[in-house]
């Protein structure tokens, strides 16, 4: 652990020096007492302030209260050195625990050290190095070999290889050319590139990820909430038991000072520091480990949710398949292939759907917008528009059923898009979409981590969905679903089991939000993905779901062990304290030792083999 010279350690050193000096001057009674009191005040005043603040908020009992009661009582019965030493040891233990937590947080944030402090702005063909916060959307910036990409942008000049491992966990460099996107946090490996900023520093991918990581402890798990509630109930019970430990034996003729000392040992032993510190740290380490693997978990509750998963529902397009549609075939016996493609491209021009973009890309010629009128998009079905003064309908079988236009049944693995002109069927286009490599073995690997129920949703025709489902070994699927249908179907599924939905994070945002645990695929830099989901996979790799589940199980096991270990040891020491087999110094050492062991055990999450 890296020691930090801060106000906490300085006050501990000053208090310790005064304490040692007092012991040397024990023969000078007044000086001895004054030095011990000053030593106590130096090390304890912040604890009194913290306890008073919590008292004003209605939180009467916590570990600070226990230490104050114990040490003040020690002063009352004349155990002055022990009172000071207890507070010194307690504060030193707190310092070491905080140090371990801070060092772990720093190491995690270093793993995610994505942000650059500066940007090389290109102004009038000159390069000006400025603070990255000064850059605006639309500014041109240069990234030299070895530098981090400071802002999300689109490459306008140059070709290079970029290291994306900090964001995606992928070790293989990616080639970027003119027109490709680069994200803040990528590292430029080889060439000089110029890019146009598409966001400012605060809204860049790196800033959002770091912010989420640093604030991940705001969304607490049920375990953390239980520990908080447990401490609030446990502490007053401990104080009451300590009071009875003095009262009952004294009333029965026991020595008051002896039983008060045992009660003080009991109070110090009872401090729940190990639980209060190690449990949140364990979940934080789990979130950090996931980040190292290219998985962004939006808080420890998301990590705990992964341990509860029974059912995973996958969207087909862009999740199981690559979502990179290409026109594979055009079939029409009414007009030429070129005319057919032109008509379809004009009709789909205003749509942002991947299928529409694949059609306009295949046409690859200029489109004159004034030839398109009365454009209307029917969600999950297709489009209707007036093109070249003729009514064009382009979409799936469901749209043509609604419009009462007969179309042939096509048996093909691709997506079938039908086209009609002025109410008459014209032909169809086959759009191909490749199944991801990571999807082929996903079902088998998920079963190894305890997930046996997998379902697929799609808006495509049933025969297409069935073929994809069979290919990836998903036995249950639902086809021809509109976005609203997906939400309704998911509600039905999650009534029976804890369910996750995995989607592309943009089109599927409502379903992701509806799930017990939302997971976004391929959502790097997407606001919709980050806002809607609990877990964002930083690279388009379904196997990262398996990795995330493994990390959640490791975290759960270590946190559970820490809770059991701390409680068993605590109750053992309480028994020893009750029967007078433990001194107050032993109690403090035990409390500090258990806390540090629990903290160190939590830190194993960062290194444990998956």
289-334 pLDDT, tens digit per residue, is 887 788 888 778 888 899 999 999 999 888 898 877 789 899 998 8
Indicate if 452 and 531 belong to the same structural domain: yes
Whether residue 141 contacts residue 184, with contact meaning beta carbons closer than 8 Å, is answered with no
pLDDT for the residue 435? 86
Q: Which of 163, 146, 129, 523 is nearest to 323 (CA)?
A: 523
Whether residue 592 contacts residue 89, with contact meaning beta carbons closer than 8 Å, is answered with yes
Residue 291 lies inside a defined structural domain of this protein: no
* Residues of the domain holding 377: 326-432
CATH number at residue 362: 3.40.1110.10
Tokens matching residue 243: 């009071």
Per DSSP bridges, beta strands 187-188 and 160-163 are antiparallel
Catalytic site includes residue 315: yes
Indicate if 332 and 425 belong to the same structural domain: yes
Residue 143 lies inside a defined structural domain of this protein: yes
Indicate if 378 and 308 belong to the same structural domain: no
pLDDT for the residue 571? 83
Indicate if 421 and 440 belong to the same structural domain: no
Give the three-class secondary structure for 450: coil
The residue from 203, 227, 255 where one domain ends is 203
Whether residue 455 contacts residue 474, with contact meaning beta carbons closer than 8 Å, is answered with yes
d(CA 359, CA 354): 9
d(CA 521, CA 419): 31
pTM: 0.69
153-157 β-sheet, strand order:
126-131, 118-123, 140-143, 193-197, 153-157, 181-182
Whether residue 277 contacts residue 463, with contact meaning beta carbons closer than 8 Å, is answered with no
d(CA 422, CA 607): 65
Whole-angstrom CA distances from 105 to 8, 110, 111, 217, 224 are 19, 8, 10, 11, 18
User: Under 8 Å CB-to-CB from 176, ≥6 apart: which residues?
Assistant: 155, 159, 160, 161, 162, 182, 193
Indicate if 510 and 384 belong to the same structural domain: no
Give the three-class secondary structure for 355: helix
pLDDT for the residue 608? 85
The residue from 498, 515, 538 where one domain ends is 538
User: Under 8 Å CB-to-CB from 74, ≥6 apart: which residues?
Assistant: 80, 82, 83, 86, 261, 264, 584
CATH number at residue 150: 2.70.150.10
Torsional sign, CA 56, 57, 58, 62: negative
Residue 366 lies inside a defined structural domain of this protein: yes
CB atoms within 10 A of CB 288: 25
d(CA 489, CA 176): 40
469 exposure class (CB count in 10 Å sphere: 0-12, 13-18, 19+): buried
Indicate if 84 and 221 belong to the same structural domain: yes
pLDDT-flagged residues of the chain (< 50): 1, 525
d(CA 25, CA 30): 9
Q: Which of 151, 109, 152 is nearest to 131 (CA)?
A: 151
**HEC states along 471-540?**
HHCCCEEECCCCHHHHHHHHHHHHCCCCEEEEECCCCCHHHHHHCCEEEECCCCCCHHHHHHCCEEECCC
Residue 543 lies inside a defined structural domain of this protein: no
Indicate if 426 and 498 belong to the same structural domain: no
CB atoms within 10 A of CB 34: 14
Query: What does DSSP assign to residue 149?
Result: P
User: Under 8 Å CB-to-CB from 323, ≥6 apart: which residues?
Assistant: 317, 354, 433, 504, 522
CATH number at residue 307: 3.40.50.1000
Whole-angstrom CA distances from 134 to 120, 131, 155, 199, 208 are 11, 6, 20, 12, 18
Residue 341 lies inside a defined structural domain of this protein: yes
Indicate if 75 and 221 belong to the same structural domain: yes
Whether residue 287 contacts residue 216, with contact meaning beta carbons closer than 8 Å, is answered with yes
Indicate if 347 and 314 belong to the same structural domain: no
d(CA 333, CA 376): 27
197-222 exposure pattern, b = at least 16 Cβ within 10 A, e = fewer: bbbbbeebbbbbbbebbeebbebbbe
Residue 591 lies inside a defined structural domain of this protein: yes
The residue from 366, 399, 432 where one domain ends is 432
Of the candidates 152, 163, 301, 315, the residue annotated as catalytic is 315
Indicate if 270 and 259 belong to the same structural domain: yes
Residue 289 lies inside a defined structural domain of this protein: no
Rounded to the nearest 10 degrees, how much is the dihedral formed by the CA atoms of 309, 311, 313, 319?
Answer: 50
Give the three-class secondary structure for 251: helix
pLDDT for the residue 525? 45
CA angle 223, 226, 229 (to 5 degrees): 155
Indicate if 266 and 139 belong to the same structural domain: no
- Tell me how many domains the chain contains: 4
Per DSSP bridges, beta strands 181-182 and 153-157 are antiparallel
Whether residue 385 contacts residue 345, with contact meaning beta carbons closer than 8 Å, is answered with no
User: Under 8 Å CB-to-CB from 39, ≥6 apart: which residues?
Assistant: 15, 16, 18, 19, 22, 84, 88
Q: Which of 152, 147, 132, 140 is nearest to 188 (CA)?
A: 147
Give the three-class secondary structure for 187: strand
Residue 1 lies inside a defined structural domain of this protein: no
**Extended beta strands in 337-446, E state:** 372-378, 382-387, 390-395, 415-421, 424-432
Tokens matching residue 175: 């080639």
Indicate if 98 and 163 belong to the same structural domain: no
């Amino acid at each position: 652990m890296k020691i930090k010279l801060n106000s906490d350690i300085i006050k501990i050193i000053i208090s310790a020096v005064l304490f040692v000096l007092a012991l040397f001057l024990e023969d000078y009674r007044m000086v001895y007492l004054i030095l011990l009191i000053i030593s106590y005040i130096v090390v304890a005043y912040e604890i009194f302030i913290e306890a008073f603040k919590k008292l004003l908020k209605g939180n009467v009992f916590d570990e600070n209260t226990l230490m104050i009661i114990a040490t003040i009582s020690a002063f009352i019965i004349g155990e002055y050195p022990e009172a000071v030493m207890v507070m010194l040891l307690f504060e030193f233990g707190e310092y070491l625990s905080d140090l371990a937590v801070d060092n772990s947080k720093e190491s995690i944030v270093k793993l995610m050290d994505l942000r650059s402090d500066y940007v090389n702005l290109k102004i009038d063909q000159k390069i000006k190095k400025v603070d990255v916060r000064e850059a605006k959307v639309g500014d041109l910036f240069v990234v030299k070999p070895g530098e981090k990409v400071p802002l999300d942008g689109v490459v306008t000049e140059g070709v290079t290889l970029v290291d994306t491992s900090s964001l995606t966990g992928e070790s293989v460099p990616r080639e970027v050319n003119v027109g490709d996107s680069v994200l803040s946090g990528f590292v430029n490996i080889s060439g000089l590139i110029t890019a146009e900023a598409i966001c400012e520093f605060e809204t860049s991918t790196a800033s959002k990820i770091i912010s989420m990581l640093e604030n991940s402890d705001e969304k607490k798990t049920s375990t953390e909430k239980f520990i908080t509630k447990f401490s609030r109930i446990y502490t007053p019970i401990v104080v009451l038991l300590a009071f009875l430990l003095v009262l009952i034996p004294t009333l029965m003729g026991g020595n008051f000072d002896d039983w008060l000392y045992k009660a003080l040992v009991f109070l110090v032993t009872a401090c729940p520091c190990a639980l209060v510190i190690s449990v949140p740290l364990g979940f934080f380490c789990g979130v950090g480990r996931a980040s190292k693997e290219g998985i962004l978990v939006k808080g420890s509750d998301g990590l705990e949710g992964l341990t509860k998963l029974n059912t995973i529902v996958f969207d087909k397009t862009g999740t199981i398949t690559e979502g990179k549609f290409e026109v594979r075939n055009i079939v029409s016996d009414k007009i030429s292939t070129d005319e057919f493609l032109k008509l379809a491209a004009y009709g789909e021009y205003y749509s942002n759907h991947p299928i529409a973009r694949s059609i306009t890309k295949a046409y690859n010629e200029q489109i004159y917008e004034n030839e398109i009128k009365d454009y209307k998009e029917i969600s999950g079905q297709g489009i209707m528009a007036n093109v070249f003064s003729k009514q064009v309908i382009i979409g799936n079988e469901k749209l043509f059923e609604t419009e009462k236009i007969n179309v042939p049944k096509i048996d093909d693995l691709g997506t079938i898009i039908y086209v009609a002109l002025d109410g008459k069927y014209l032909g169809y286009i086959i759009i191909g979409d490749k199944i991801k490599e990571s999807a082929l073995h996903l079902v088998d690997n998920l079963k190894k981590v305890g997930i046996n129920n997998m379902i697929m949703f799609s808006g495509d025709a049933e025969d297409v969905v069935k073929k994809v489902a069979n290919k990836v070994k998903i036995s249950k699927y639902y086809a021809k679903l509109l976005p609203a249908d997906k939400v309704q179907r998911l509600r039905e599924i999650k009534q029976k089991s804890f369910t996750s939905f995995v989607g592309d994070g943009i089109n599927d945002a409502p379903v992701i939000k509806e799930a017990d645990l939302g997971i976004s695929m391929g959502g790097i830099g997407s606001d919709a993905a980050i806002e809607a989901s609990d877990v964002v996979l930083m690279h388009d790799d379904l196997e990262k779901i398996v990795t995330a589940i493994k990390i959640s199980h490791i975290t759960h096991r270590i946190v559970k062990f820490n809770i059991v270990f701390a409680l068993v040891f605590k109750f053992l020491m309480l028994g020893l304290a009750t029967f007078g087999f433990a001194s107050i110094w032993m109690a403090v050492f035990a409390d500090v030792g258990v806390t540090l062991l629990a903290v160190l055990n939590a830190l194993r999450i960062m290194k444990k083999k998956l």
